[in-house]
Structure 1
């Protein structure tokens, strides 16, 4: 019997490494695959798009905010992997009636590396986990060297329209913005509290006057009309469509993010 502690401080005891895994978070599904656990994954959400072929080989158990409990029960999982931000407390508590639910809590790059290490121990994939940690740390160090002489720019990172919502503080997106020297105008903004506040775009200029307006590719499909509308309320900002996965997906996906960020800066 071994006991492990998840990122919420909850204890989980297993006789052996869990063999039947359900993942409720797309980036964590990708990490499980990259750790060599494809055969152990029995259920995923409809948003788990990497690697794409899993959509046809694994059972769909709903989304991140609404899951099918009966489908999950029938899959007889040994463990369910959830996330504090992506999945609700109500979902986690209901799923705990089925099997242990491991909850991650990712706010920083360090949290993400800890999750990879945790999965390596939990699923007996320590060597594979360390390889990914080393790969990410090497790419991160290289990017920090690349970015060190760049000027800081004020930015607004939008995730939704109608109503417009932006990334605030206390989330992984904000951490990646900081890494890129993009000062988030909605981080610690007293008028916009919370992780993803609804914002008044007409007041963008007086409440932050960003140099960059970043429109994420997910979860909302921004179009040129949104870029035009937002552009009306900024003084000089450059509006850019960005790959939301690179800013919001943690785990092994981060290994792809740093080269993307270099290309992004080259086009600013």
Structure 2
């Protein structure tokens, strides 16, 4: 199997005597690399890479997903850099590519992209067996979700930020996760932006059945739920943002979480 990343770059498998030094600038992929058994190869991660907590505590922080400390990464002398098109800044990645030998670019847009992601990273770093186990677990959860009786179509507004209020476009991983649970994300007027800003109005409320308030990146609370329900007259609830937006190995638990949403 060819190991091709999101930019179409073909990567080679590491030889058995090669020891990788990986910097991951993507929280969900840091978790995936650990679940592939590659924690010992991780020499750098962002401050947002918080799972698995006990494991990442011993891995050096190199800044955030956007504000990366380039010189600190240089001192770590990585052989591989793992990044994402949405989460990391292109100029930063280009600057790092000047001294990191291998840059692996990812861009999953659909839950079905996850098995390919497992095989890509597992193949590059010699963790094919672990990748196969994750693929099997993913397919099992995906089949269990698909086997549920069809849910009534529901129009939802998924909120990720306040001041200004922000949502997600339909061309996002989150929107496609929602679709698996029978939920159709509201289409913002500024849909060409992946994370549109919106304003509450009676017209908007008339276009939705429910409001979903994510736990990240903005930490909404039950107080926000009550305020939105009073303002819109529509039901609102808190949802786990990690389960809805983290790809990689977290997506397996995310599919189980979707089943619970469907049952509700």
Task: State whether TM-score is above 0.5.
Answer: yes
Change (3 A) 1:18 1:198: farther
Gap change, CA 1:15 and 1:134, over 3 Å in 2: closer
Change (3 A) 1:35 1:177: same
Partner of 1:5: 4
1:195 positional shift: 1.0
102, 119, 124: which one aligns with 2:126: 124
**What is the DSSP-based 3-state SS (H/G/I as helix, E as strand, rest coil) of the residue aligned with 1:8?**
coil
One of 215, 226, 250 as aligned partner of 1:228: 226
For residues 18 and 157 of structure 1, the distance between their equivalents in structure 2, rounded to whole angstroms, comes to 42
CA contact (8 A) 2:109 2:172 kept: yes
1:127-163 deviations in whole A, cap 9, x for unaligned?
11011011101110111111x4211110000000010
Unaligned runs of 5+ in 1: none
* 1:139-178 aligned within 5 A: 139-146=141-148, 148-178=149-179
Mapped to 2, the partners of 1:3 and 1:142 lie a distance apart of 30
TM-score normalised per structure 2: 0.92
Structure 2 unaligned residues grouped into runs of 5+:
none
Pairing partner for 2:113 from 111, 114, 135? 111
Aligned length: 261
- What is the TM-score when the length of structure 1 is the normalising length? 0.91
Q: Does 2:241 match 1:244?
A: yes
Aligned-partner Cα distance in 2 for 1:204–1:25? 37
Judged with a 3 Å threshold, the aligned counterparts in structure 2 of structure 1 residues 204 and 94 are, in CA distance, closer, same or farther, namely farther
SS at 2:201 equivalent: helix
- CA shift for structure 1 position 73: 0.7
Greater alpha carbon shift after TM alignment, 162-171 vs 47-56: 47-56
Tell me the distance in 1 between the aligned counterparts of 2:191 and 2:49: 30
Q: Alpha-carbon deviation of 1:203? A: 4.9
* Shift, 1:69, TM fit: 0.7
1:212 is displaced (CA, Å) by 1.4
